[in-house]
Structures are given as C-alpha cells and as structure tokens.
Amino acid sequence: MTEIQIGFSILFVTFGILLMLVGSVGIIRLPDFYARTHATSKSDTLGIIFVILGLVIYEGFTQSSAKLILVVLFIALSNPIGIHALASAAMKKGLKPFFSDDDIKNDSVKREVK
C-alpha cells in the first residue's frame, strides 16, 4: 500500500465525516421537517458515499472493494428514494412547511403587484 493511497483514503473518509457533521448541524439548526430532511438526505448520502469510497481506496482492487462499490450504488439509489417517500407521506398527512412572517409578507406583496 502506497503513501498516496493512504493519503487519498484519509482525505475521502475525512471529507465524508465532515459532510455528515454538516447534516447533523442541519437537523439542529433548520426550522421544519422538510428543511431538516433535505439537509440530512443530501449531506448524509454524500458523506457515507465518500466514507465508503475512502475504504475502497484503502482496500485496493479486491473482492471486498467490489462489494463496497455495490453498497455505494445501493445507498446512492435508495437513500434519496426513501427520503422522498418520507416527505411525500408527511405532505399527505397534512404537515405544512414552515414559512417565516417575512416570507408571508413578501409573498402577499408579490401577489398584489401582479
């Protein structure tokens, strides 16, 4: 295993962890369910993909890395679909998105101008 291979794997895993940290902060900071799911779905999907790709780089070209690539493909396909189904179910149940007072005022001003 070369120094470059180890360096790239550390870089990918670190970047993936940082992306997942951003998603975790998004859960705390964002105001409503839809914004929170958007933050976590995008950042956590990319974060786990980068972590697993870092493991693939570390492992090299073996059967284990081929299995990890299949896991990446599964996550890349299933996570966005699952989050979309979750948000659709929330919308059908009647959960309304949060709008601030400024957004409501700006929207009413735009409607009056038209």
| pLDDT at position 109 over 50 | no
| pLDDT at position 46 over 90 | yes
The full set of domain ranges for the chain reads 3-113
Q: Average pLDDT, whole number, for the chain?
A: 86
Per-residue pLDDT of 79-106, as tens digits, reads 999 999 999 999 899 888 877 666 556 5
**What does the pLDDT read at residue 19?**
94
What is the DSSP code string of 26-41?
Answer: HHHH-SSHHHHHHHHH
Return the structure tokens found at 110: 């735009």
pTM: 0.80
**What does the pLDDT read at residue 104?**
54
Q: Can you tell me the distance from the alpha carbon of 90 to that of 86, in angstroms, rounded to the nearest whole number?
A: 6
**What does the pLDDT read at residue 48?**
95
| High-pLDDT (> 70) share of the chain, % | 87
The label of the residue with tokens 């470059």 reads 4
Mean pLDDT computed over 59-75: 93
